[in-house]
Amino acid sequence: MSSAGSAPSHNSPEKWSALFSGMLSPEAVIRTGEPLARRTTMRVGGPADVYVEPASEADLAQVLRICGEHDIPWLVLGRGSNVLFRDGGYAGVVISLSQSAFARIEVAAPEINCGAGARLKDVAYQAKAAGLSGFEFMEGIPGTVGGGLRMNAGAMGGAMFDLVSLVRLMGPDGQVRGCLPAQMKVEYRRCATLKDHVAISTVLRGEPAAREEIEQRMDAFNRKRWGSQPALPSAGCMFKNPRDVSAGKLIDELGLKGTRVGGAVVSLKHGNFIVNEGNATAQDVCRLIELIRERALVERGVELDPEVEIVGRE
């Protein structure tokens, strides 16, 4: 076994990658220079210095411990719908919980035990099949359970933590513990506890309901979404809604729909979406974000706070 003391300098992606190879199971995926644009819904941004798919909780614990010992920045990437990597890529380790060890969805009505890597859409469909209501809003969110918890993702009046009865999370030391929602820092579109802890799985509690009723609600949400939100690549809503106004309405009122920087455009359909017309760079998107924030502040005195996490090198 290697130890921190035996190798003083582990400061390059190749060295990080070698450290992981020595400590993780053979099923783990470890790559350097992994392109990230295709792993985000906005489809922009540079590569990850190192990309890891742990094959088990033990692998994940090793990754976090190694990162801690060597001061290597890390983040967990779900389906990439709420993160924007800058064009210079991510100087650290991007962890994906996409292997099957993290993807289970087990229904024990009225609860569903979900792995962090499970897709929200799949959870919504399993809930419907089991006659459990409360999960309908998840159907249209292109995210994973872990990402949904981290962001306290929501839509159509529902949000993730409305359903949570327990989260199993791993600390930077690799230890796993169960946490009640009351023990976690949760707010609108953010769970600060999951900034330095990784959600492994969660128990979500629904309400028994007739399947037709659930189906109708899901259909109505679906129609509303397709009617009001763009289909082009985007990161969903770009800004959190300020206290008294919808960010989309505000941006619309400012006449900013259609405003363009390079390949990034404020959607004509919904003002709070920036869409990638195909050739946008992360810099285009960031410039457009700044332009919108500036106009909202100068003309309306409103500070728009990005909902999307912007990370990586310029």
Q: Which residues bind ligand EPU (CB under 6 A)?
A: 155-156, 228, 236-237, 240-241, 246-249, 252, 270-272, 307
Q: How far is the CB of 91 from ligand EPU (least distance, A)?
A: 26
Instruction: State the Cα angle at 144 between 40 and 248, rounded to 5°.
Output: 65
Tell the smallest beta-carbon distance from residue 172 to ligand EPU (Å). 28
Of 104 and 224, nearer to ligand EPU (C-beta) is 224
Burial of 303 (0-12, 13-18, 19+ CB in 10 A): exposed
34 versus 136: smaller Cβ distance to ligand EPU? 136
State the minimum distance, in angstroms, from the CB of residue 59 to ligand EPU: 30
Smaller CB separation from ligand EPU, 46 or 78: 78
Kindly tell me which of 15 and 190 has the beta carbon lying closer to ligand EPU.
Answer: 190
Shortest distance, position 219 Cβ to ligand EPU, whole Å:
15
Q: Which is nearer to ligand EPU, 48 or 237 (CB)?
A: 237
Q: What's the rounded Cα separation, in Å, for the pair 159 and 178?
A: 20
Residue with tokens 């650290």: 92
Asked if 139 and 221 touch (Cβ cutoff 8 Å), the reply is yes
Q: How far apart are CA 312 and CA 314, in angstroms?
A: 7
Give 72's DSSP letter: -
CB atoms within 10 A of CB 106: 13
In the complex, least distance from residue 241 CB atom to ligand EPU, rounded to whole angstroms: 5
- Amino acid letter, 96: S
